Chain A
Amino acid sequence: MEITVIVLNKTDKVENTVQSALNLKPKQILIGTYTPIKSKYEVVEFQEKSNYSADLNKLLEMVKSDWVFYIKDNEIIIQMDDLDCLDDKAVYGVQILQDDIIIKESRLWNIKNKIKFKNPIFEKPNMRPTKFLDVILYQEKVNDDRVLKMLEAWKKSNPMMLDPYYYKAFYALGNKNFKEFKSLIIHYLFNSRVNDVSCVIARYYLALVQGLVDGETNEAISNLVLCLAENPLMAEFWCLLGDIFTQTQNFEKAIIFYQNAILLGSRRLKLDEWPMHISKYHEYPTEMIEKCTNITKNTKQYTITQS
């Protein structure tokens, strides 16, 4: 099979990405850029950073092979999988490691699938993965100062569209603006007509803010129950239940929820489409069980001494 790698140079650090993409033995490498760069691969210069997906779609029109692999300029490939015998109709997802979190995104597909990029700021293919490869990309965190301005422009040009609310909410959360996050994400969840992975994760973060920041325990639990109903093997959800009960000093209940995180989380399929906060599957709940156990033990000893 022949692969074309496409990458958009947003941060002027595209060289490492291109080097790591050579692991795919690509037939063609297409680099879109906003600043002039020297490269032995095909370079397409774009005028301004206003719509990343539109620019990537222009690169897609120049693809000369049957398969496309998309990689971001802040990513490198750290683990490869066997790419023989791929299914033409499938859209392949890969694992993307961001510090302690693994997310899954569509990155390899056959051009017969006619995939296009959507989302002008946080560009991504317009189809969710239908199969997963054991390929891991490491993604470096970058701060794009233009994000807020681009989000505002996106929201203004598509006032009925919900996606800008979602991304603006998480931008607010990243800046610890919890009030704005809650307001935007509640609007998003209320109006969303689907209940996909993004919605469930949005609800989880809403529960996190409600439970751990605003002390709205009942609201947080209601949202977490809805999350668990979608996927009870997510250790993140059980850990948050544990955290909420730790905060309300119900340590014995908290311990059970942390245990549930370890037991049920260990049964997750390796290559499902859900994100994974790695430490929540063993390290964090184990540490919290020990802390909660020590507190309950000390409290009991104190009670006996007093009587």
Chain B
Amino acid sequence: MLLTEALYKVVENPTSLQNYKNIKQYFQENGIENIAAAFGYLIETRYGNNSNSIEQDRQG
């Protein structure tokens, strides 16, 4: 997925966990660790222990 496409999805649905995971994955795959870690921090802070839950994302 293109980064701009992933960011548009965040603008459309900013509560979706999956949208943030896509961005984190993009930066991980491109070796930009500090930004990937920042999105990891956002995911952990906002979604906490449920960050691996599919159900949480559906609700988002």
Binding site for B on A (CB under 8 A): 221, 225-226, 228-229, 232-233, 241, 253, 256-257, 259-260, 263-264, 266-267, 269
Contacts and interface: CB of A to CB of B under 8 A. Distances in A.
A267 B46 contact: no
Interface of B: 3-4, 7-8, 11, 14-15, 23, 34-35, 37-39, 41-42, 45-46
B42 A263 contact: yes
Contacts of A221: 11
A267 B41 contact: yes
A73 B45 CA distance: 45
Contacts of A259: 46
Contacts of A228: 7
Contact of A229 (B7, B15, B41, B42): B7
A306 to B, nearest CB: 27
Contact of A260 (B8, B14, B34, B37): B14
Contacts of B7: 225, 228-229, 232
A169 to B, nearest CB: 24
Given A225-B4, A233-B34, 11 more contacts: A225-B8, A229-B7, A232-B35, A232-B39, A233-B38, A263-B38, A263-B41, A264-B42, A266-B41, A267-B38, A269-B34
Nearest to B14: A256
B14 A257 contact: yes
A229 B35 contact: no
A228 B39 CA distance: 13
A21 to B, nearest CB: 34
A229 B3 contact: yes
Contacts of A266: 41
A221 B7 CA distance: 10
Which of A225, A232, A256 counts the most B-chain CB atoms under 10 A from its CB? A232
Contact of B4 (A229, A253, A263): A229
B4 A226 contact: yes
A269 B38 CA distance: 11
27 contacts: A225-B7, A225-B8, A225-B11, A228-B7, A229-B3, A229-B4, A232-B7, A232-B23, A232-B39, A233-B34, A233-B35, A233-B38, A241-B11, A253-B14, A256-B14, A256-B15, A259-B46, A260-B14, A260-B42, A263-B38, A263-B41, A263-B42, A263-B46, A264-B41, A266-B41, A267-B35, A267-B41
A225 B4 CA distance: 6
Contacts of B39: 232, 264
Top 9 A-B residue pairs of the complex, sorted by shortest distance between their CB atoms: A267-B38, A256-B14, A263-B42, A225-B7, A229-B3, A228-B7, A229-B4, A264-B38, A225-B4
Contacts of A257: 14
A260 B13 CA distance: 13
Contacts of B14: 253, 256-257, 260
A229 B35 CA distance: 11
A259 B11 CA distance: 13
A229 B6 CA distance: 9
A199 to B, nearest CB: 16
Contacts of A229: 3-4, 7
A259 B37 CA distance: 17
Contacts of A225: 4, 7-8, 11
